[in-house]
Copies of this chain bind each other. A is one copy, B any other.
């Protein structure tokens, strides 16, 4: 049964429902279970997923390293752990959600999938579409950079640039999919959210965090991670929930704005502008759902500016991890939270590093280079 995250209205599982009539996203119930033995998170936590996952078709998503930050832990006076999602098959966390989402499409008998994305998710859905032998449709805004198109080229998906409002494209794509028999695994699809839960399961195998910092765009990742921890608590595998922190860019912070203005609903963020393009969603489809979770669980919302983001990106480079600007936001936020005393000294903090910096090279300044002669 799928249930509305706002009004609780229920929808049966045999139809491809994704959003409630009230406009808000649907979600599966909380799963309870016990972890088992296995090399893959999908195996160890199989009781927590809605169906059996075909690991023969997996590309090795998940089971990413949780790396203790060496320099930053010392500098910030915390125990900082970096969940390195850049080591997924298409080098971002999206693969976890796509893997579960495409099983949903399979279960419903679809042979065609799609997504609306400007980057990470497009590559992920194109890759899994190819892997599963689906016909794959990627809808992109018309101003997409050539670099991002090239990153998709090898997977053989059908790529369509769409003129018009990008935010609206999310909703239009669901209609388009219904008409054409395409299951759109968009950013906060209920089954994509199920895939993101696996991050929480892996974290808890290594550390019981006091804080989890989550760069937030559509809200799908945040919802998934929170749901994972709620299920761990329901299953009595953890005693307390960590504090969840939504991180946004100042140049596009519709959730933080609504949170601090104590509104019930997000508003479209006008003229978004940030270097953290992967989280530059002015009207996140799960924005209200994230707001509700933040209120209920007493979470936090922090926004950071581009200068802070770039400085945090460099700091992560010094840990040996090259992330895209969106992924560095949480380190920038952690600095703020330490400075204003919100996060206490010695706290155990997990930061989700969402995607690889190698995907956004155009945003990197070339380094200083010395010249030399071989004979010298």
Q: Which residues of A pack against B, CB within 8 Å?
A: 56-60, 63-65, 67-68, 70-71, 84, 87-91, 123, 127-128, 130-131, 133, 139-140, 142, 146-147, 149-156, 158-165, 168-169, 172, 313-314, 316-322, 356-359, 361, 364-375
Contact = CB atoms under 8 A, between A and B. Distances in A.
Contacts of A374: 162-165, 168-169, 172
9 contacts: A70-B131, A130-B318, A130-B320, A139-B372, A154-B313, A154-B322, A162-B374, A164-B373, A164-B375
A31 to B, nearest CB: 24
Copies in the complex: 2
Nearest to A128: B320
A131 B320 contact: yes
A359 B358 contact: yes
B151 A358 contact: yes
A146 B368 CA distance: 11
Given A70-B57, A320-B128, A149 B366 contact: yes
A371 B163 contact: yes
B154 A372 contact: no
A371 B87 contact: no
A59 B321 contact: yes
Nearest to A149: B366
A286 to B, nearest CB: 21
B153 A365 contact: yes
Given A59-B65, A154-B364, A371 B321 contact: no
A317 B361 contact: no
A128 B357 CA distance: 16
Contacts of A321: 59, 89, 127
Given A131-B319, A320-B128, A322-B127, A314 B151 contact: no
Contacts of A151: 322, 358, 361, 364
B91 A356 contact: yes
A370 B153 contact: no
Contacts of A361: 147, 150-151, 361
Nearest to A364: B150
A90 B89 CA distance: 13
Contact of A158 (B140, B322, B370): B370
Nearest to A357: B154
Contact of A159 (B163, B313, B357, B370): B370
A142 B152 CA distance: 31
A156 B70 contact: no
Contacts of A358: 91, 151, 356, 358-359
Contacts of A372: 139, 160-163
A146 B68 contact: no
9 A-B pairs closest in CB distance: A60-B65, A164-B374, A154-B317, A131-B320, A153-B367, A127-B320, A150-B364, A160-B370, A150-B361
Contacts of A156: 314, 317-318
Given A130-B319, A149-B367, 8 more contacts: A63-B63, A65-B89, A89-B320, A153-B366, A159-B368, A168-B374, A356-B358, A358-B359
Nearest to A358: B358
Contact of A322 (B90, B163, B172, B370): B90
A373 B163 contact: yes
Given A87-B87, A151-B358, A154-B322, A371 B60 contact: no
A128 to B, nearest CB: 6
A23 to B, nearest CB: 19
